[in-house]
Amino acid sequence: MTALALGCAAVEHARDTSAYVGRTLAAGHGDGAARLGAEAKLDPTLRDYVTEHGRPDYLRVMGRQKVYFFYTRSDTAVMFERELAESQVTELGHIPGSMLKLLPPAEAKRISEQRAERGRRAKVRARAQARARPAPAAPAPGAGTYFGAFDAREIVERMTPPMTAADPGVRGWRQSRLADGRRSFAAKVGGTRYEVRPDRVVMSSAIATKRRSLPTSARLGVSRVNQAIFALRAEAVTEVVLPLAARVSKDASGRTRFDKRVAGRTVRIVRDAKRGRLVYSVHP
């Protein structure tokens, strides 16, 4: 966009902002579609985000410097904070409870009911898994000692089902053999890759070179791995891990990384700048 065109877009944006401030707008039509177009015309970061992730279901203009996107079908929120004509994007994960009231009542009620149902199902699944969990198998002869080695087959079974209505789950697992004869598994969902071995479980998510925030796909991948490994403690582990992953994502150089003991396991978070991947792994 030329400087003249950008200046015109900024003047038009500033002139019209007061008509939209404090309103939650459906982004697909009417005022919502018009305002989304104006925001995208002014702000290349916001425009690129829409291109990559699709149009939000709703947007809320807080002023010239701040806009929220709500993707209600996937229950996610995104914040854009702008300086001049380009913003910093922050993915907030699930729509915060304090923001549900900003949505139309029917949408807020639907999301709350879906969350409650997911919570009930997760508790039932965790209890069933705890009852059915087999005793750890003995290490294969000559394999060395792996204290607390993972049951790769069991973890794959836990990671396969969808976690939400919009989540396809993880299918198409490929099985291979390690040098010591034990099995390992690998699968890919979109830009996210999973590897399950007796000595580690790895989630690797694509992250663009210029991106400074944690991708939604990585958030889901971290949650999926934690649910499969930590069961009833998964939510608490995820609350510890996600802020660390966000800090790693913010450093495009890849120098910020974490190697931390959490709930009896070692978690590692690394940004591989050369391959454009954010890597989260859990080790016994």
Query: What DSSP assignment string belongs to 2-32?
Result: -HHHHHHHHHHHHHHHTTTBT-EEETTSHHH
261 vs 33: CA distance, rounded Å: 47
194 vs 225: CA distance, rounded Å: 9
246 vs 181: CA distance, rounded Å: 37
Between helices 152-159 and 216-230, what is the axis angle to 10°?
130
Q: Is the predicted pLDDT of residue 123 greater than 60, yes or no?
A: yes
At 143, is the pLDDT very low, low, confident or very high (cuts 50, 70, 90)?
very low
pLDDT of residue 14: 53
208 vs 221: CA distance, rounded Å: 17
Looking at per-residue confidence, does 82 or 135 come out higher? Answer: 82
280 vs 268: CA distance, rounded Å: 6
Element at 186 (helix H, strand E): strand 183-189
pLDDT of residue 35: 93
Report which of 280, 195, 283, 196 is spatially closest to residue 241, judged by C-alpha positions: 280
175 vs 155: CA distance, rounded Å: 13
Q: Is the predicted pLDDT of residue 93 greater than 90, yes or no?
A: no
Looking at per-residue confidence, does 166 or 211 come out higher? Answer: 211
Q: Is the predicted pLDDT of residue 4 greater than 60, yes or no?
A: no
Report which of 225, 233, 220 is spatially closest to residue 268, judged by C-alpha positions: 225
In a 10 Å sphere around its CB, with 0-12 CB exposed, 13-18 middle and 19+ buried, how is residue 143 labelled? middle
Residue 134 tokens, joined: 């087999």
Q: Is the predicted pLDDT of residue 132 greater than 50, yes or no?
A: yes
Q: Is the predicted pLDDT of residue 144 greater than 50, yes or no?
A: no
List strands edge to edge, sheet with 66-71: 24-26, 58-63, 66-71, 76-83, 86-93
Q: Is the predicted pLDDT of residue 55 greater than 90, yes or no?
A: yes
Radius of gyration of the chain from its Cα atoms, rounded to whole angstroms: 22
* Mean pLDDT, residues 103-118 taken together: 90
pLDDT tens digits, one per residue of 156-177: 999 888 877 667 788 889 998 8
Residue 255 tokens, joined: 């120098």
Q: What pairs with residue 263 in β-bridges?
A: none
Looking at per-residue confidence, does 223 or 164 come out higher? Answer: 223
Lowest mean pLDDT among 24-28, 72-76, 84-88, 237-241: 84-88
CA distances in angstroms from 73 to 55, 94, 255, 259, listed in the order given: 12, 11, 35, 34
At 18, is the pLDDT very low, low, confident or very high (cuts 50, 70, 90)?
confident
* Mean pLDDT, residues 188-200 taken together: 91
Name the residue with tokens 């294969």: 140
pLDDT of residue 36: 93
pLDDT of residue 133: 53
pLDDT tens digits, one per residue of 233-267: 889 999 999 999 999 999 999 999 999 898 889 99
Residue spans of beta strands (DSSP E) within 72-217: 76-83, 86-93, 174-177, 183-189, 192-197, 200-206
266 close to 283: Cβ distance less than 8 angstroms: yes
Q: Is the predicted pLDDT of residue 84 greater than 70, yes or no?
A: no
Q: How large a percentage of the chain has pLDDT more than 90? A: 40
pLDDT of residue 226: 93
Q: Is the predicted pLDDT of residue 231 greater than 90, yes or no?
A: no
Residue 5 makes CB contacts below 8 A (sequence gap 6+) with none
pLDDT of residue 88: 83
